Structure 1
Amino acid sequence: MRAVLIAALVAAPSLSFAAGSDTTPPTPTKNTTECKNGKVWDETAQECSLPKESRLDDDALYKAVREFAYAGAYSDAKLALAAMSDQNSDRVWTYKGFIARKTGQQAQAMEFYMQALAVNPDNLLARSYMGQGFVQAGEMDLAAAQLTQIRTRGGRGSWPEISLRMAIDTGRGNNY
């Protein structure tokens, strides 16, 4: 497994920045301030709905996933994640990895991050979360390699870079 991870870390970098809007931490919305029991805020209906019953598209569901994950509501994040139509997107794999890592399933988390990077090698958030997992496992060389990849791929100064750098500096993963 370690050899596969090292190979992924040093894969030829692309200089395009493709992380999208997930380069800063999410801010609370009605998903976490009003909705309960795994429900998401459906702007069209103006109510909290179960993710699969909502009118939300994948982008809106993804924002809900990130918000729930940031708040530590992993079961709610899983429900919103499962409602996304493209279950093979790098965003889905990234958050499957994040949730697995935060719930103590380190090996499974690394597999999910590898899936995310196979779909999109420029997914800076997946690289940051993977690096934080390496920090938690004491694999500082692998964490540093992820930090280099983030910077090489245009992520200097971004949330994924800052978050991973802080984890490396403190020797422990961040809450997010």
Structure 2
Amino acid sequence: MRVFLISALAAVLPCSLFANGPEPVAPKPKVTCEQGMVYDKKTKKCVSAQDNRLTPEDLFQTVRELAYAGDYEGAQIILAAMPQDDDRTLTYMGFTNRKLGKAEAGLAFYTRALAVNPANILARSYMGQGMVEQGNIAGALAQLRAIRSHGGTGTWAETSLRTAIATGQTFNY
């Protein structure tokens, strides 16, 4: 078994670990709003995440900004205002729950995201990173193979999961 695992790792760890593309740049908030509020570019004011003038993209951008900044609870408040069957919403619910130490809840959200969209390579990467955190390298390798089979070779999703498998270090974005 050990020989198999070493062989499997050797197959996924090329020498140029980051040659497949740059790390994503964390979005920087243009305006800081109170918790549960979103900056509306049209009105140039912070408004409730429930405001129907906001687009799903406005909400998603705010979720990304909060999650990248480590404000997982704040991100979850905004996520609650988003469509609950959207695979991006489910992916970020998984991510924020996992980062808050709720690994099982995170896994459940990733599983739901993949049921909606099996080609969601970001959900697969985050799920695989959670598996690395739990010591489930075989599961993480399965997610890495799935990322590649869905055309994700060379993406940040693939690179970050491959790095996590190699080093045990997962990413906060």
Aligned partner of residue 48 in structure 1, secondary structure: strand
Q: Which amino acid aligns with 1:27?
A: P
Matches within 5 A, 1:129-168: 129-168=126-165
Aligned partner of residue 40 in structure 1, secondary structure: strand
Number of the residue aligned with 1:124: 121
Matches within 5 A, 1:161-176: 161-176=158-173
Partners of 1:66 and 1:51 lie apart in 2 by: 14
Number of the residue aligned with 2:99: 102
Q: Which amino acid aligns with 1:77?
A: A
Task: Tell me, yes or no, if the aligned pair for 1:25 and 1:159 is still in contact at 8 Å.
Answer: no
Q: 1:61 aligns with which of 53, 59, 62?
A: 59
Q: Which amino acid aligns with 1:70?
A: Y
The alpha carbon displacement at 1:38 in A equals 3.3
The alpha carbon displacement at 1:172 in A equals 2.7
- Per-residue CA deviation, residues 99-152 of structure 1 (Å, 9 max, x unaligned), is 110011111111110000000000011000000000000001111111111111
- Per-residue CA deviation, residues 4-45 of structure 1 (Å, 9 max, x unaligned), is xxxxxxxxxxxxxxxxxxx94542132xx5223332211011
Number of the residue aligned with 1:87: 84
Where does the alignment leave 5 or more consecutive residues of structure 1 unmatched? Answer: 1-22
Q: How many residue pairs were aligned?
A: 151
The alpha carbon displacement at 1:54 in A equals 6.1
Task: Tell me, yes or no, if the aligned pair for 2:27 and 2:64 is still in contact at 8 Å.
Answer: no
Q: TM-score, with normalisation over the residues of structure 1?
A: 0.80
Q: Which has the larger radius of gyration?
A: 2
Partners of 1:166 and 1:50 lie apart in 2 by: 38
Partners of 1:105 and 1:25 lie apart in 2 by: 26
Q: TM-score, with normalisation over the residues of structure 2?
A: 0.81
- Higher relative helix content: 1
Q: Which moved more, 1:158-167 or 1:116-125?
A: 158-167
Whose RCO is larger (CA < 8 A, sep 6+)? 1
Number of the residue aligned with 1:71: 69
Q: 1:43 aligns with which of 41, 44, 54?
A: 41
Q: 1:45 to 1:54 in 2, by over 3 A?
A: farther
The alpha carbon displacement at 1:64 in A equals 1.3
Number of the residue aligned with 1:8: none
Q: What is the aligned-residue identity percentage?
A: 48
Q: Which amino acid aligns with 1:113?
A: Y
